[in-house]
A and B are shown apart, each in its own frame.
Chain A
Amino acid sequence: DTEVTQTPKHLVMGMTNKKSLKCEQHMGHRAMYWYKQKAKKPPELMFVYSYEKLSINESVPSRFSPECPNSSLLNLHLHALQPEDSALYLCASSQSRAETGANVLTFGAGSRLTVL
Chain B
Amino acid sequence: AQTVTQSQPEMSVQEAETVTLSCTYDTSESDYYLFWYKQPPSRQMILVIRQEAYKQQNATENRFSVNFQKAAKSFSLKISDSQLGDAAMYFCAYRSLYRDDKIIFGKGTRLHILP
Task: Please report A residues at the B interface, Cβ cutoff 8 Å.
Answer: 31, 40-43, 45, 48, 50, 55-56, 88, 90, 92, 97, 102-110, 112
Contact = CB atoms under 8 A, between A and B. Distances in A.
30 contacts: A40-B89, A40-B108, A40-B110, A41-B107, A41-B108, A42-B105, A42-B107, A42-B108, A43-B45, A45-B102, A45-B103, A48-B101, A48-B102, A50-B101, A55-B101, A90-B45, A92-B45, A97-B100, A97-B101, A103-B33, A103-B50, A103-B100, A104-B50, A105-B47, A106-B47, A107-B37, A107-B44, A107-B46, A109-B43, A110-B43
Contacts of B95: 103
Interface of B: 33, 35, 37, 42-47, 50, 89, 91, 95, 97, 100-103, 105-108, 110
A50 B107 CA distance: 26
B68 to A, nearest CB: 15
A108 B44 CA distance: 6
A57 to B, nearest CB: 11
Contacts of A103: 33, 50, 95, 97, 100
Contacts of A108: 44
Contacts of B110: 40
By Cβ-Cβ distance, the 7 closest A-B pairs, closest first, are: A42-B105, A107-B45, A109-B44, A103-B33, A48-B101, A110-B43, A97-B100
**Most interface-central of B46, B101, B107 (chain A CB within 10 A):** B101
Contact of B105 (A43, A88, A106): A43
A106 B95 CA distance: 14
